[in-house]
Amino acid sequence: MIFLSLLRLDPLSRRVQTELSRSYEMHRTLCHAFPNLTGDEWTAARVLFRADGNNSGRLQLLVQSKYEPDWNAFSNHLKGARYLLAPPQVKEWQPQFRAGQTLRFRLLANPTFRPKKDDGSDGERRGLYREAERLDWLLRQSTRCGFALPLTQMTLRRNGEPLTFRGRPHDELTLDLPTCQVIDLSDGQRFPLSDRKIQFSAARFDGVLQVADVELFRHALENGIGPAKGFGFGLLSIAPIESKD
């Protein structure tokens, strides 16, 4: 069982505006919807979130958790400050899938990789910013997470400029990459966290997937995909494909 919450954010709230640009602060604010949890319980709650705009121009926050949120405690913490335009909507969901099932999906992710050092160990995590690299990252995730994606062959060439793919130089590279929309939401900057720096490569993927392994897919949906989940990445949203009949 997981809980899905929809929060309509007040776009004129200074706190909302700040937290949209500093998503870890939004994560800390959401913690108040899960009061009195121990460290282990908070980890088990697996709270995922994503800020989205919709077609009507509304700003909304999607929150997914394995524990039921207490939005009254959340509101009490805000002490009347502007944040929400309406009470949160919450529904329970027991994910059930079947192999071969086709679904629409949306994923805001932080595509990264770790280049190998000379000694064979993993280097510092780096962001992926080229569309082909991000699609390749999504393909790798799909294999681990139990779903398949429609593929299109793509050939990358130097065209006079150095061609670097996942940290390695190439003259030409032919790849089978997922067919889906990729929206770049990253400014390529580095954001400080404690005494180190983390690089965010924010990309939103919208497309169609097919469930390949039911258990792996359910685990990915419940626990998120990719790194930096505390910064608003990793929430996989799915919806049935409407029949044209």
As a whole number of angstroms, the distance between CA 48 and CA 33 comes to 13
Checking if the pLDDT of 245 tops 70, the result is no
* Mean pLDDT of the region 120-145: 91
Mean pLDDT of the chain: 89
123 with 82, same domain: the answer is: no
pLDDT of residue 57: 67
- Rounded to two decimals, what is the model's pTM? 0.89
pLDDT band at 99 (very low <50, low <70, confident <90, very high): very high
pLDDT in tens, 41-77: 988 999 999 999 865 668 999 999 999 999 999 999 9
113 with 89, same domain: the answer is: no
Last residue in a domain, options 28, 58, 93: 93
pLDDT of residue 194: 36
pLDDT of residue 56: 63
Whether residue 245 is contained in a domain is answered as no
pLDDT of residue 187: 57
Q: Can you tell me which residue has the tokens 């505006």?
A: 17
pLDDT in tens, 178-194: 999 999 987 544 443 33
Last residue in a domain, options 35, 64, 93: 93
CATH number, domain containing residue 23: 3.30.70.1200
As a whole number of angstroms, the distance between CA 202 and CA 109 comes to 6
Question: How many independent structural domains does the chain possess?
Answer: 2
Cα angle 35, 4, 2; round to 5: 80
pLDDT band at 128 (very low <50, low <70, confident <90, very high): very high
As a whole number of angstroms, the distance between CA 117 and CA 124 comes to 9
Whether residue 52 is contained in a domain is answered as yes
Checking if the pLDDT of 197 tops 70, the result is no
111 with 192, same domain: the answer is: yes
Q: What percent of the chain has pLDDT over 90?
A: 66
CATH number, domain containing residue 226: 3.30.70.1210
Checking if the pLDDT of 198 tops 50, the result is yes
pLDDT of residue 76: 93
More confident residue, 173 or 211: 211
pLDDT of residue 161: 75
67 with 154, same domain: the answer is: no
87 with 138, same domain: the answer is: no
Last residue in a domain, options 93, 127, 162: 93
- Domain interval for residue 218: 102-240
How does DSSP classify residue 33?
G
Cα angle 185, 242, 60; round to 5: 35
7 with 68, same domain: the answer is: yes
